[in-house]
Amino acid sequence: MPRDDGLKHLSREERADLLGELKDLVRDEFGEDLGDLRAELLLEALGKLLGPRYYNEAISDARAVAAARAETIQEELFGLTRQPPPAAPR
């Protein structure tokens, strides 16, 4: 069954590392030891809740970078334009 938690791109090793970090965080901050199932469920819930927000922010940042780069390209192209030679006197 495919996961729909915003973390589909993670390898098994990355997911296992993230679960370990999450368990450590909950233990250190809240004094609670999470079992594997609870950690997995919490990770999935956080992925669903936060994943789209971080994704949308990243897209917005990428759009801003692309727009700035497009403007730079426009300026560079404008700088390459040539003026026609002056008309010869008649």
* Domains of the chain, residue spans: 12-79
Q: What confidence score (pLDDT) does residue 2 get?
A: 46
Angle between helix axes 36-79 and 12-30 (nearest 10 degrees) is: 110
Query: What DSSP string runs through the chain?
Result: ----SS-TT--HHHHHHHHHHHHHHHHHHH--PPPHHHHHHHHHHHHHHHHHHHHHHHHHHHHHHHHHHHHHHHHHHHHT--PPPPPPP-
Name the band, by pLDDT with cuts 50, 70 and 90, for residue 1. very low
Q: What confidence score (pLDDT) does residue 4 get?
A: 55
Q: What confidence score (pLDDT) does residue 31 get?
A: 97
What's the rounded mean pLDDT across residues 73-88? 91
